[in-house]
Structure 1
């Protein structure tokens, strides 16, 4: 397509292949003859979807984040990475430092980060995977223990009756 930027009919025919969902429906509902050039289509598209654009964030937004005590690592990691993706020109090592400051300090993962700080967010995410699995395993074991405890209480009540 880059070689055919001046070929409006070709671009206009290929453009819908890049759309899905509501954007494709919007395109299909354009009135016949309402678009006379790709520039016109571009302008209509931008005016339709410009309000959906998320504003860029600055690096301060990473340094003001906090992991709440009750939040699991996976949820916080997802939220942190989402905000990081909206920060323009965020160096990976800076993001790692912001993540360390935002973490709940009483967690084993925070201790791991203090003892051996990763150089990049990719390294941090890889290491976090193990701790996420550990949290999930502990939660599953707690659920099993709770179910067994409830069953034992139920059996005790039945015996007492």
Structure 2
């Protein structure tokens, strides 16, 4: 349900996924779309002039234009460079925050993610030493290694 505060592009994408088997039926798509709207967005929809929309594409274009201020802006790649593990924080806290930010960046930057994660660790930290001695080649390998060190930290 779209509440007027979420990213409208994400909402349209989710709606399209739910309606995939009916995607060729423009009329049905337009008629069902309002059922995915909460009151704020429904007021907008109800305020559309009759016959002002002639296709589902036009409807979604108008919807996105109306709620553009809610659009999620991807984070720039260099935001990973500012990530560091703060004194007294756990590896779990750092990695959770790091991966949350990583997921907000558009594009495939696994190599940068691996390097910046390592650089963000304190120099004396065992995981950083391990990643220097035996570098990982993928984010999956990095996450596996992080999880090994998190388990040790939790014990």
Match of 1:130 among 138, 148, 151: 148
Match of 1:77 among 95, 105, 126: 95
Q: What are the ranges of 5 or more consecutive residues in structure 2 without an aligned counterpart?
A: 1-19
Q: Does 1:92 align with 2:110?
A: yes
**Bigger fraction of residues in helix:** 1
With structure 1 as the length reference, what TM-score do the two structures score?
0.64
Q: Contact 1:92–1:120 (CA<8 Å) still a contact in 2?
A: yes
Q: RMSD over aligned Cα, in angstroms?
A: 2.9
Q: 1:84 and 1:9, CA in 2 relative to 1: closer, same or farther beyond 3 A? A: same
Q: Does 1:51 align with 2:69?
A: yes
Choose between structure 1 and 2 for higher RCO, CA contacts under 8 A separated by at least 6 residues: 2
With structure 2 as the length reference, what TM-score do the two structures score?
0.66
Q: 1:100 and 1:16, CA in 2 relative to 1: closer, same or farther beyond 3 A? A: farther
Q: 1:65 and 1:36, CA in 2 relative to 1: closer, same or farther beyond 3 A? A: same
Residue 97 of structure 1: how far off its partner (Å): 0.7
Q: Contact 2:22–2:29 (CA<8 Å) still a contact in 1?
A: no
Q: Contact 1:56–1:88 (CA<8 Å) still a contact in 2?
A: yes
Match of 1:31 among 39, 46, 49: 46
Give the Cα separation in 1 of the matches to 2:67 and 2:150.
Answer: 36
Offset from partner CA, 1:35-64 (integer Å, 9 cap, x none): 744244313431343222232233322123
Instruction: Give the structure 1 partner of residue 26 of structure 2.
Output: 8
Q: What are the ranges of 5 or more consecutive residues in structure 1 without an aligned counterpart?
A: 138-161
Q: State the structure with more CA Rg.
A: 1
Aligned length: 132
Instruction: Give the structure 2 partner of residue 121 of structure 1.
Output: 139
